[in-house]
Amino acid sequence: MEIISLTPFDLSVAAILVIALSFVSARMGIGLGRQILVAGLRTTIQLFLVGLVLESLFANVHLGWLLLIAIAMLLAAGREVTNRQKRKFSGWWGFGVGMVSMSISSFSITILALTVIIDLKPWYEPQYAVPLLGMLLGNTMSGIAIGLDRLTQTAWDQRNRIEARLVLGDDWSDAIRDIRRESIRSGMIPIINAMAVAGIVSLPGMMTGQILAGNPPLEAVKYQILIMFLISGGTGFGTMFAVWLGSRRLFDDRQRLCLDRIKKTG
């Protein structure tokens, strides 16, 4: 099946929806009109730039260039994790907790998929590596951001309860165990919901893209199942590690609650 190319006019028609949404938001006093326009503009510029970079990368396959792009993606994802939290860790920890957790989970699972499951030769083929890493980082980023935001906000709200448990003899892990569990659960709910309704309520993005590109539906389904399982693993393990690391950061070596290590943003 021939791929139907989109013209600038086609994209402009779709952009009218974003402009209309921004206008209605402004008229209703929601306060998101400007943010919607900026987000739409960023989407357009960023995706076109990425398209140009990927075309160059596909034409010149090299591990060094792939690592450079992967690091840039990781740094951007780490920044977004920090910006999405109402209360974030101060200093390097505000950026480091999310970035380290994403790098451990997303990079390891991406390499596993490329070398063992898909079995590419070479394994760093950018046509597969970059989209796969991007999907893993994007979803893992959301899970970690939600989990850390829930952790720090709840720890702040329940600080008296945590300190009471410490006074009664609990160690730091026991004192914050319930909050840690709920934080991990919050971070994992979006991907669980996405898996639960895939194919019934929604057709996931990768599957839809492959079908629009002319690939057989069943082949697109197999790739989508693979991606959903990889994303769930990356999101789950990344969120668990980030929340555990963050909860440990809330206590000092003498197991005292140190809420001065987090600060309110905005």
- Domain layout of the chain by residue ranges: 7-60, 61-264
Report pLDDT digits (tens) over 39-79: 999 999 988 988 888 888 888 788 888 888 888 888 888 88
Which residue from 252, 196, 198 is spatially nearest to 221, judged by alpha carbons?
198
| Residue where the block lists tokens 């200093």 | 91
Residue 205, pLDDT > 60, answer yes
Q: Which pLDDT value is given to residue 178?
A: 93
* Phi, psi for residue 24 in degrees, rounded to 5: -65, -40
Which residue from 107, 125, 116 is spatially nearest to 63, judged by alpha carbons?
125
Query: Cβ neighbours of residue 258 under 8 Å, at least 6 residues apart?
Result: 250, 251, 252
Assign 263 to helix, strand or coil: strand
Q: How far does the chain reach from its first CA to its final CA, in angstroms?
A: 50
Answering whether pTM is above 0.75, one says yes
* Residue 213 DSSP one-character state: T
The stretch 119-146 carries a mean pLDDT of 87
Lowest mean pLDDT among 42-51, 77-86, 163-172, 252-261: 77-86
Which residue from 262, 244, 261, 241 is spatially nearest to 103, judged by alpha carbons?
241
Q: What number of residues does the chain have?
A: 266
- Distances in Å between the Cα of 250 and the Cα atoms of 20, 133, 180, 207 are 44, 30, 11, 41
Cβ 57 vs Cβ 119: under 8 Å = no
Q: Which pLDDT value is given to residue 147?
A: 93
Rounded distance, CA 117 to CA 120, Å?
9
Residue 262, pLDDT > 60, answer yes
Which residue from 157, 186, 153, 155 is spatially nearest to 172, judged by alpha carbons?
155
Q: Which pLDDT value is given to residue 198?
A: 78
Tokens of 172: 């730091």
